[in-house]
Structure 1
Amino acid sequence: MNAKPTTDDWGIDASWIDALDAEHQVAQTTIDTLRAVIGEPPADLDDRAPIVARPGDALEVDEADVVCEDGEVRHIDGELPAGFPLGYHWLQSPEGRRRRLIVSPGRCWLPEDRAWGWTVQLYAARGRDSWGIGDLGDLRTIRRMAADQGAGFVLINPLHAVAPIQEQEASPYLPATRRFQNPIYLRVSEVPGADAVDLEEDAGRALSDGPLIDRDAIWARKREVLMRIFFAHGGGEAFVRWREAQGQTLQDWATWAAITEAHGADWHTWPAELRRPDGPGVTTYAEQHGAVVAFHAWLQWALELQFTAATDGMTVIQDLPIGFAGGGADAWAWQEVLADGVSVGAPPDAFNSAGQDWGSPPLIPWRLRDADYEPFIQSIRATMAGAGGLRIDHVMGLFRLWWVPADSGAADGAYVRYPAEDLLNIVALESHRAQALVVGEDLGTVEEGVREAMAEHGVLSYRLLWFEDDEPSEWPAEAMAAITTHDLPTVAGLWTEADVDEQREHGTGTDDELERGRTSLLEHLPGLSDDATVEQAVEEAHALLATAPSLLLSATLDDAVGEQRRPNMPGAGDRPNWSLPLPVLVEDLPAHPLLETVARTLTEGLDSD
């Protein structure tokens, strides 16, 4: 086993270790580039950055007053008392210095009982009343089905907003923001005031006639009708009160969205006076275009109403992407905290020999601390809100991220370290407050110590049948167990070889590489004969999954209806990723025989405990 890589004062690892335990040195030119991007932190950073602690911890200050969230002032002397209140407080030193004090329980909230649930690509889950895309009305239908079947949760793809322009971003993992939702998921007929206008429902439903999800056409249609509803109804006093309560954060989002409609999705290309949210030009723009700004705020109000109605007491695990678009709203709001000229990705591994570049700019670790962790806190809190669960995509990013310099290949990057202990404690605090469980997507190359830290903080691991060498019955209890993910083959696609055929068509590997990959995955279904049907393969996979002692068991709707195509095929840029509808309408899912079998198998697996 190689030793842990050396990390310099900028947080850059000098080397990295791949999945085969081989060590690779980072080029000095890469290190020099990243050092320039990261920059020198101020000399007094450690004296003003937040302190993240737990009740009973010794602090790095001898004596101070703490102004708590509720306004109470408490005096501390060297350590936090065992019963000190959790939350976001301010530490006031005798010399008059103020710094944030974040007090965390240290462990995420976890439910007492085991549960199984459905993993859903909501955009793909269309119903008879959908306008071309699965929406929050369809989520309500799925939630009711899941409850009737005895499921305890639903895991959904990220619902975060993208730029509200004609050319809609298809990937849920490259949003413009991680704090607000995408209005394309609104059920238009259920928006307050919809009964006051002609919705032309037939034209909306006709958007579902095509074989793919056409987000451009869908958003154009929904925006036009939603705008008419807004001007006819406006939300009334309920919306006005809600908007006032949201404060500047919502105003900034709505203003960014309004400017985007006029000047494009990348704030870097806007007129200079609009490129900073605190600039006087932005204030003037918002005043001059107040109706459009209000419209985008109103969309978020409507989304909150519909999301609350769709979940209605069931745990809905929302997905937090690892990053956001470099030209988007969060990048505009937090541009001082972002690294310029680099993007986040992954080094080469067994599934991608060239590495990956995901296109999102990373947060600079020391600048994140200097911003009192506010960008991270807001993203976690917003994604967790009202749902009862959070899945953190690429949870290893709380520890380190692979930074790829601009104009370089993904393989020519380096790992940059983050203050993982602080970030995990913040996740635990938000989880505790929201009574929301947290799952960390710890797939791929996971360095030593990550899973141990996750377990210490009550973050559930993520275990896949396709990846694990151990039998499911030996998987850990504090985990979410599943068969596959949106980036990997479905059971039907693997069993029929349709997935390999499609990979070959899009050139994602040589014939030998693709066949070796398929063979390695098939080894996880040892009990099947070569002439088994797709239905038998799906049933066998879920029978194995049902033996896992993990807290959560998750099955995809794609597998449960025998879908051969995976939602996303990394590296296949000419494929309609994230745009493939389920072949079964959501209203017809409960009667689907294979889906019924999967639900029964997982229910019986839990009942056998």
Structure 2
Amino acid sequence: MGPVTENHAVSPALAELADVCGVASSYEDADGVRREVPASTLRAVLAAMGVEVGGDDDDEGGVSEREALGAVRLRPWRRVLPPTLVAREGTAIGCPVHVPRGAIVNVEVLLEDADVPSTLLPLDEPRIARDVDGVAMERVTLAVPDDLPVGWHRVTAVVRAPDGTRHSSECTLLVHPRAIPVPAGLEEHRAVGLAAQIYQVRSEQSWGVGDLADLGDLAGWASRDFGADFVLVNPMHAGEPFVPVGPSPYLPTTRRFASPLYLRPELVPEYSALSVADRRRVDDLARTAAATNTVDTIDRDSSWTAKLEALRILFMVPLAPARADSFDRFVDEQPGILGFATWSALAGDHGPDWSTWPEELRDPGSEAVAGYADENPEEIRFHLWLQWLVAEQRAHAQREALAAGMRLGVLHDLAVGVHPTGADAWSLHHSLARGVSVGAPPDAYNQRGQDWSQPPLRPDALAEEGYRPFRDIVRAALRDSGGVRIDHILGLFRLWWIPRGAAPTEGTYVHYDHEAMLGVLALEASRAGAVVVGEDLGTVAPGVRETLSELGILGTSVMWFEQDEDAPIPPEDYRRLCMASVTTHDLPPTAGYADLVHVDIREELGQLTGDSAEERRGAEAEISAFTAVVRERGLLDGDSPDDLVVALHRFVAESPSLLFAVSVADLVGDRRAVNVPGTS
């Protein structure tokens, strides 16, 4: 371990309070230096978790650090059952129950597919007693058996106090599989596929932005002509429902619903029932939008403006009875979709930033919001209908991929978080932390750190809600897909929280119950028969990769990051249980990276903290090292940039990794970066 920085501002009580709440009071940075976190950061992060604290001696007029610590330690004693129980399949766990001394308690577990509950019995161990708010309390631990099936179960406790009063309590019991099965025969034969930012993949029929029809065509071509087994796409989460549309797929308004920007209007079945005049208008819109397919930049606003008009025309066509039934079933089966559609309608009237709406509309559970929904049923139905269409065309793209011979098909990408003033920030406001944002501490590629401006999910709120918000996010990503890539999967263990107004360097890590988060992922992926790839790059805590591998979650090996003391790691030493690639969406295409485009961009944006000439010399040395290695191996056939790109892919292809992804941008010789982390 490297040296330790000094910080005398954090009292022992504040450090202990932070530790109990899962907030790091120190951390090891990318250079191995132990960094102490300022007291101001700890207090701001604790406040975002609902733990307000002043000074240790209460000299700031608030709750003292010791008082706050005492209150947090009493939280479990003030409830009968824990908020959520998590068990791995085949493993027995204990269920702590807190009741007044002398009370009688009956605890039962009801399996998700059962009608009759079974009773939990106490373990043979002494009870623990404690005085809580003047009441003598006891903790008794019950045995949750090791033979429960995987699933989402419920635990219910009925307590009869000594005075005869009765009350009940319940919690979620998640039993997850020991590991996600490796699907599609990957153990015997690795899968090679494409990685694409699908909005870039435009055809003559596109409306200026690559769409789900283009995705199906890309998958079919890649499979039939090259034997590809998957297409990994960028996050397709929904953005703003009206222009202007945000450019980054990694800053969506929601992670639970998809973007209708990727729809192909002519493929909506109701297109065939349009009147002559309406069809002519839709076709005119399509031609106008298609004229931008050869323009070098992506104009999401013009594309969505045209599509939105066309889709409103299509919406006016009555649904056939079978289609109407399908639509109704879809709406009934999607948790939270009515709230999202209501937000979308409200955004049309008041703008997408809910924090600027009239006060009475900022709470999704308010009477004012319910009244708005009653007054605007058709507009809300329109946004429900859009989600149904996206689901249909997304499913069709996956069917096309599988029919063409792909073993996996489409792999979707799950972004880290959402826009701070968007749909999920409004409808999931109880689950998200306020006054902080998610980012990353400084590292070699982002020397000033990163602030992604996204509000993080609160660990305590997730547990209180039985991890349903995260479950719904995962289910949405897995729907009609062969798998999912989890961007920054390290965030299921810990996330870098940055207080509002602070620099990314002034944040700290907040730890999550990774057994629960990974358990949700393992259960839902196993049920979907999907592969899970975790983007585990950056500063990785000890044991994280081993935990992911044990659960059957593939890691990520990007060639440029696979170096040891500035020398390329041989591809034979790459991990087997991972997705290997030469580059990633956060870097320029390989030709651009070799031409130091990444250094140019970071210098232009002021992201370099050292001497730019020295940075450039280091990058040139890196390229030279990889070039020398592929030349020594006989993989480099010439001296052109294209020859080097091919050689580097041959190099990575020699790895044992189960998945090998090739960027579409590399296939076509592009060199421009499309995503720069930490920018907007």
Assess same fold via TM > 0.5: yes
Letter matched to residue 348 of structure 2: E
Task: Report Cα offsets for 1:282-304 as digits up to 9, x if no partner.
Answer: 11111211111111100111111
Task: Report Cα offsets for 1:38-57 as digits up to 9, x if no partner.
Answer: 12464436823110112332
1:489 to 588, 602, 608: 588
**Secondary structure of 1:130 counterpart:** coil
Q: Distance in 1 between matches of 2:417 and 2:373?
A: 27
Corresponding residue of 2:489: 395
Q: Distance in 2 between matches of 1:321 and 1:518?
A: 32
Bigger mean CA offset, 477-486 vs 30-39: 30-39
**Greater C-alpha radius of gyration:** 2
**How has the CA–CA distance of structure 1 residues 476 and 290 changed in structure 2, closer, same or farther, with 3 Å as cutoff?**
same
Kindly state the Cα deviation for residue 241 of structure 1 after the two structures are TM-superposed.
Answer: 2.4
Corresponding residue of 1:564: 671
Corresponding residue of 2:301: 216
- Verify: 1:86 aligned to 2:193, yes or no: no
Kindly state the Cα deviation for residue 37 of structure 1 after the two structures are TM-superposed.
Answer: 1.9
Bigger mean CA offset, 203-212 vs 146-155: 203-212
Letter matched to residue 118 of structure 1: L
2:375 to 275, 288, 292: 288
Corresponding residue of 2:626: 524
1:107 to 176, 179, 195: 179
Kindly state the Cα deviation for residue 500 of structure 1 after the two structures are TM-superposed.
Answer: 4.1
Q: Distance in 2 between matches of 1:546 and 1:8?
A: 44
- Verify: 1:70 aligned to 2:169, yes or no: no
Count of residues paired in the alignment: 573
1:186 to 238, 263, 272: 263
Task: Report Cα offsets for 1:523-572 as digits up to 9, x if no partner.
Answer: 23323489711221111111111111011111110111111112213356
Equivalent residues in 2 for 1:428-443 (5 A)? 428-443=522-537
**How has the CA–CA distance of structure 1 residues 254 and 83 changed in structure 2, closer, same or farther, with 3 Å as cutoff?**
same
**Secondary structure of 2:19 counterpart:** coil
Structure 2: runs of 5 or more not aligned = 5-14, 52-71, 97-105, 122-141, 160-167, 403-407, 564-568
Q: Confirm or deny: 8 A CA contact 1:8 1:14 kept in the other structure.
A: yes
1:132 to 208, 225, 235: 208
**How has the CA–CA distance of structure 1 residues 332 and 471 changed in structure 2, closer, same or farther, with 3 Å as cutoff?**
same
Letter matched to residue 157 of structure 2: S
Kindly state the Cα deviation for residue 30 of structure 1 after the two structures are TM-superposed.
Answer: 0.9
1:54 to 85, 88, 110: 88
Q: Distance in 1 between matches of 2:26 and 2:445?
A: 20
- Verify: 1:207 aligned to 2:309, yes or no: no
Q: Distance in 1 between matches of 2:324 and 2:354?
A: 32
Structure scoring higher RCO (CA < 8 A, sep ≥ 6) equals 1
Q: Confirm or deny: 8 A CA contact 1:192 1:302 kept in the other structure.
A: no
**How has the CA–CA distance of structure 1 residues 304 and 444 changed in structure 2, closer, same or farther, with 3 Å as cutoff?**
same
**Secondary structure of 1:396 counterpart:** helix
Letter matched to residue 116 of structure 1: V
Kindly state the Cα deviation for residue 109 of structure 1 after the two structures are TM-superposed.
Answer: 2.8
Q: Confirm or deny: 8 A CA contact 1:316 1:388 kept in the other structure.
A: yes
2:554 to 460, 485, 490: 460
Task: Report Cα offsets for 1:304-345 as digits up to 9, x if no partner.
Answer: 110111111343111111111111111111111211111000
Letter matched to residue 156 of structure 1: V
Q: Confirm or deny: 8 A CA contact 2:89 2:178 kept in the other structure.
A: no
Letter matched to residue 253 of structure 1: F
Kindly state the Cα deviation for residue 162 of structure 1 after the two structures are TM-superposed.
Answer: 0.9
- Verify: 1:255 aligned to 2:342, yes or no: yes
- Verify: 1:156 aligned to 2:238, yes or no: no
Q: Distance in 1 between matches of 2:3 and 2:606?
A: 36
Corresponding residue of 1:23: 34
Corresponding residue of 1:144: 220
Q: Distance in 1 between matches of 2:648 and 2:559?
A: 8
Kindly state the Cα deviation for residue 279 of structure 1 after the two structures are TM-superposed.
Answer: 1.4
Corresponding residue of 1:590: none
1:333 to 427, 430, 451: 427
Q: Confirm or deny: 8 A CA contact 2:252 2:418 kept in the other structure.
A: yes
TM-score, normalisation: structure 1: 0.89
Kindly state the Cα deviation for residue 518 of structure 1 after the two structures are TM-superposed.
Answer: 4.1
Q: Confirm or deny: 8 A CA contact 1:52 1:102 kept in the other structure.
A: yes
Kindly state the Cα deviation for residue 508 of structure 1 after the two structures are TM-superposed.
Answer: 4.1
Corresponding residue of 2:243: 166
**How has the CA–CA distance of structure 1 residues 88 and 18 changed in structure 2, closer, same or farther, with 3 Å as cutoff?**
same
- Verify: 1:38 aligned to 2:52, yes or no: no
**How has the CA–CA distance of structure 1 residues 79 and 525 changed in structure 2, closer, same or farther, with 3 Å as cutoff?**
farther
Q: Confirm or deny: 8 A CA contact 2:327 2:388 kept in the other structure.
A: no
1:278 to 365, 371, 383: 365
TM-score, normalisation: structure 2: 0.80
Q: Identity of paired residues, percent?
A: 38
Corresponding residue of 1:576: none
Q: Distance in 1 between matches of 2:534 and 2:201?
A: 24
Kindly state the Cα deviation for residue 245 of structure 1 after the two structures are TM-superposed.
Answer: 2.3
**Secondary structure of 2:420 counterpart:** coil
Equivalent residues in 2 for 1:507-522 (5 A)? 507-509=606-608, 510-522=612-624
Kindly state the Cα deviation for residue 227 of structure 1 after the two structures are TM-superposed.
Answer: 0.6
RMSD, matched Cα: 2.2
Q: Confirm or deny: 8 A CA contact 1:192 1:233 kept in the other structure.
A: no
Equivalent residues in 2 for 1:308-387 (5 A)? 308-312=395-399, 313=402, 314-387=408-481
Kindly state the Cα deviation for residue 124 of structure 1 after the two structures are TM-superposed.
Answer: 0.5
**Secondary structure of 1:90 counterpart:** strand
**How has the CA–CA distance of structure 1 residues 389 and 243 changed in structure 2, closer, same or farther, with 3 Å as cutoff?**
closer
